[in-house]
Amino acid sequence: MNKSNSLLTIIAALAALCCLTASQCQSTVDFPPYVAEICTDKIDNNGDGLIDCKDPTCVTKPSCALKVVINAVPATISQDTLVVSGVQQNATAIAVDVTLPGVAGTAAITADTWVCKLSTLTAKSTYTVRAIASDAEGNRDTATATFQRGN
Ligand SMILES: [Ca+2]
């Protein structure tokens, strides 16, 4: 037996001592199953500490977009107040103003709807209402509607 055969015999013997049976040589690592974040259920589905639109996997989803819509307003009003309302998505605040100075308000947001009462609409003119939604990240979305103040 030459030196290399002796060395191989020793290595084989050591390997046999270390791994006596196939089951003893196996080890398993259990990884948790992959869970995708669901972007609309208010739960941290994937366990990364970020819920829904705060999770980077959700920020580009349509459900995480900032959006504001104004419900239909009357074409003509005959009083100096108007309640404007609409729907919103992911807004933390909605500011409402009109084209004529001195008329503005902050909308009250309830779930996916908002409402704002505008007053001092005294000028017999055409008003354009603008609802400006903003979110915690500084994003903005705007919607407009127009009405006439008649007699
Ligand atoms: Ca979720």
133 Cα to the center of ligand 1, angstroms? 23
Its pTM surpasses 0.85: no
33 Cα to the center of ligand 1, angstroms? 16
Contact 19, 12 (CB under 8 A): no
* More confidently predicted of 3 and 119: 119
Task: Read off the pLDDT of each residue in 74-78 and give the average, rounded to a whole number.
Answer: 97
32 Cα to the center of ligand 1, angstroms? 17
Long-range pairs for 84-89: beta carbons < 8 A, 24 or more residues apart: 84/115, 84/116, 84/117, 84/118, 84/129, 84/131, 84/145, 85/113, 85/114, 85/115, 85/116, 86/113, 86/114, 86/131, 86/143, 87/112, 87/113, 87/114, 88/112, 88/113, 88/114, 88/133, 89/63, 89/65
Task: Read off the pLDDT of each residue in 103-120 and give the average, rounded to a whole number.
Answer: 92
pLDDT of residue 14: 62
141 Cα to the center of ligand 1, angstroms? 24
Q: Tens of pLDDT along 26-42?
A: 778 888 788 999 999 99
Is the CATH number 2.102.10.10 carried by domain 65-149? Answer: no
136 Cα to the center of ligand 1, angstroms? 18
pLDDT of residue 102: 74
Task: Read off the pLDDT of each residue in 137-141 and give the average, rounded to a whole number.
Answer: 93
Task: Read off the pLDDT of each residue in 124-148 and give the average, rounded to a whole number.
Answer: 95
Task: Read off the pLDDT of each residue in 30-55 and give the average, rounded to a whole number.
Answer: 92
Task: Read off the pLDDT of each residue in 105-114 and give the average, rounded to a whole number.
Answer: 94
65 Cα to the center of ligand 1, angstroms? 15
55 Cα to the center of ligand 1, angstroms? 8
* More confidently predicted of 27 and 52: 52
Strands 82-89 and 93-98, sheet pairing = unpaired
111 Cα to the center of ligand 1, angstroms? 17
pLDDT reading at 79 higher than 80:
yes
